Structure 1
Amino acid sequence: MADRRNIRVYVRILSALSLVFCAGCMVVDNRPAPGQLLLQTDPEYGRNYHLYVPSRNNQGRAWPLIIACHGTIPWDSADRQVAQWKGLAEEKGFLVAAPELRGTKGDFPPATEEQIRRQLEDEKIILSVVKAIRAARNVDENRVFLTGWSAGAYAVLFTGLRNPDTFRAIAVSQGNFKADFVEPCIPFIDRYQPVNIVYNSEDLLLKADAPTCIDWLRAQGMHPTVLERPGIHKRDPEPIFNFFVDCARRIPWIRVSVTYDPGDPMEVAFIASSSFEPTQFLWDFGDETRASSPAPRHRYEKPGRYLAKAALWAPNGKSYVRQISLQVPPVRLGAAASAPASP
């Protein structure tokens, strides 16, 4: 028993020393950042967040928004995340915000139940920060992204996977991962949501977490983009930014959702929204009936689980198909007459 205790102590000491060596250094970014660096308070929950607004005049165009999730305190923090991103934000022209979180403890995180409780709390804060920034500034709703470094991955995966209608794409750099911590995400996953996993081949702290995370995402039907680079547990926002730009340019954002009629649980309203203006729609409701309107309503004759599909045509003539699984009538857990959509 004594030997085991000694081993645990040694492991903790080595982990702490590794964190100090690899992650405890200050963020260095030599890019000029003459814009506004603001400390804001979320009006809904009273939690602080840091916001950088570039000095450039955006000429009436909507700002892209990147939410950056910090890792383990004191090795990382919300203000360090903004310091890491602000030079790039100034150069490329986007807003960056970093909320103060409580579920991003990478060294000896709490038990699963407590960690999920903290992640649920962080999810509320992150979504509230997005809402507050949208209310105060001209934000492009089609270009809101979520990223995090190290233990910030806990917040990114939990909040990002559960809210694919809010975040166009999500990215994790040198991230912590535990499958138990993302189990509540599974019913909400959109397998078309772009996910980027960046890790370094010589990262002694978290190298093993990245392949585990990638395998888990693939098991859920997702197709993560993976970037393995030489080096240790270091910060570098540029590959994440490049991934987000590539997603916005190449991958259309299409969200399909359903709402059940409170007066008739066999009737379902469908809607598909996208980052382009569709020229044509075609719906297959999974019961051998179809429709071509943008937002059809459909009444199912028999209870059961159905796989509905939506095809959208872009102005360039290319078509995209998304599918959604739904239960009719819905399983009612309370008074709400709606159900989360899954791919």
Structure 2
Amino acid sequence: MLMKCIRAFSVLALLGMAAVFTFGSGANQVSAQPAGCAADAVYKVGLDDGVIEFDELRRTYRVYVPESYDPTQPTPLVLSLHGFASNARQQMEFSQWNRVADEHGFLVVYPQGSGTPLRWNSGRIGGRLAELFPQTDDVAFIRALLDHLSQTLCIDPARVYATGLSNGAGMSSRLGCELADRIAAIGGVAGAYTPTECDPGRAVPV
């Protein structure tokens, strides 16, 4: 029953994010053509895996490129963040973002957390539980990942969105607070983590 409820909330989140793609919302309205729109193809249509070096760690991610992707046209991007002790593959299978990307024509990236078990430094955990969560600067990691992807994919910088499940939802909230210059809107499932201190500099749609 719980999984059915979570999936129902996931569908609602997908529909809400799809509406954002349709009507638009922007972190930064940029007129210049993004660098990745002139780059040679790095990722094949469909599913691909990638890795970047960040803070002396090999950080991995999965990227989904729909068939409708035009490497000369700036394209929206969704970051989908997995929950505690999950991973990028499980998040992809659970969220079903690839299906929605095919319908609406956007890119999806599934970054993977760090540590054992895998998790995100969502900045919302205190007390003894804090020992379970890494001190990795995952906000800086996501910024570095976006910088990397923007050199290899034709991404619309004004339409980059973050969503996640549980611990990933908490991380998407943190990105809305601390990376509002790069994230247009956020959405979370099974993790209503409300930051106590948040000054994004602008209103970030949730």
TM-score with structure 1 length normalisation?
Answer: 0.41
Q: 1:79 to 1:35 in 2, by over 3 A?
A: same
Deviation at 1:140, TM superposition (A): 0.5
The list of structure 1 runs, each at least 4 consecutive aligned residues, that deviate by more than 6 angstroms after superposition, is: 18-24
Partner of 1:39: 49
Residue pairs, 1:231-310, within 5 angstroms? none
Aligned to 2:111: 99
Matched, 1:86 2:98: yes
- Contact in 2 for aligned 1:119/1:158 (Cα 8 Å): no
Q: How many equivalent residue pairs?
A: 161
Per the TM alignment, residue 117 of structure 1 is displaced from its structure 2 partner at its CA by 7.0
Q: Matched residue of 2:102: which SS?
A: helix
Cα-to-partner distance string for 1:43-68 (whole Å, 9 max, x where unaligned): 43420111111122426211111111
- In structure 2, do the counterparts of structure 1 residues 127 and 57 end up closer, same or farther at CA, with 3 Å as the change threshold? closer
Task: Tell me the distance in 2 between the aligned counterparts of 1:23 and 1:43.
Answer: 33
Asked if the contact 1:119–1:154 (Cα under 8 Å) also holds between the matched residues in 2, the reply is no
Cα separation, partners in 2 of 1:164 and 1:65, compared to 1, 3 Å: same
Given that residues 146 and 167 in structure 1 are in contact (C-alpha distance below 8 angstroms), is that contact kept between their aligned partners in structure 2? yes
Residues of 1 paired with 2:142 and 2:127: CA distance? 22
Q: Which runs of 5+ in 2 are unaligned?
A: 11-43
User: Which residue of the other structure, out of 154, 163, 172, is the alignment partner of 2:179?
Assistant: 163
CA apart distance, 1:120: 5.3
Do structure 1's residue 77 and structure 2's residue 93 form an aligned pair? no
Residue 204 of structure 2 corresponds to residue 193 of structure 1 = yes
Aligned partners of 2:121 and 2:134: how far apart in 1?
Answer: 10
- Mapped to 1, the partners of 2:112 and 2:186 lie a distance apart of 18
2:68 to 56, 75, 78: 56
Identify the residue that residue 242 of structure 1 maps to in structure 2: none
SS at match of 2:134: helix
Deviation at 1:23, TM superposition (A): 6.8
Contact 1:49 1:97 in 2 (8 A): yes
Larger RCO, structures 1/2 (Cα 8 Å, 6+ apart):
2
Structure 2 counterpart of 1:69, one-letter code: L
> For residues 64-103 of structure 1, what are the alpha-carbon distances to aligned partners after superposition, in whole Å with 9 as ceiling and x for unaligned?
1111111122xx4211223321111122111100111144
Cα deviations by residue, 1:116-167 (Å, 9 ceiling, x for unpaired)? 9737522122222111110111110111111112221111111221111110
- Structure showing the higher helix proportion among its residues: 2
Q: 1:113 to 1:133 in 2, by over 3 A?
A: same
- Distance (Å, rounded) in 2 between the aligned partners of 1:116 and 1:157: 19
* Counterparts in 2 of 1:49 and 1:133: CA distance versus 1, 3 Å: same
User: Quick one: percent identity of the two aligned structures?
Assistant: 26
Distance 1:59 1:125, change over 3 A: closer
**2:36 match:** none
Name 1:175's counterpart in structure 2. Answer: 191
Q: Quick check: which has more Rg, 1 or 2?
A: 1
**Distance of aligned partners of 1:64 and 1:112 in 2 relative to their CA distance in 1, 3 Å threshold:** farther
Structure 1 or 2: larger strand share?
A: 1
Following the alignment from structure 1 to structure 2, what is the Cα–Cα distance between the partners of residues 22 and 77? 21
Amino acid at match of 1:174: A
DSSP-derived class of the 1:47 partner: strand
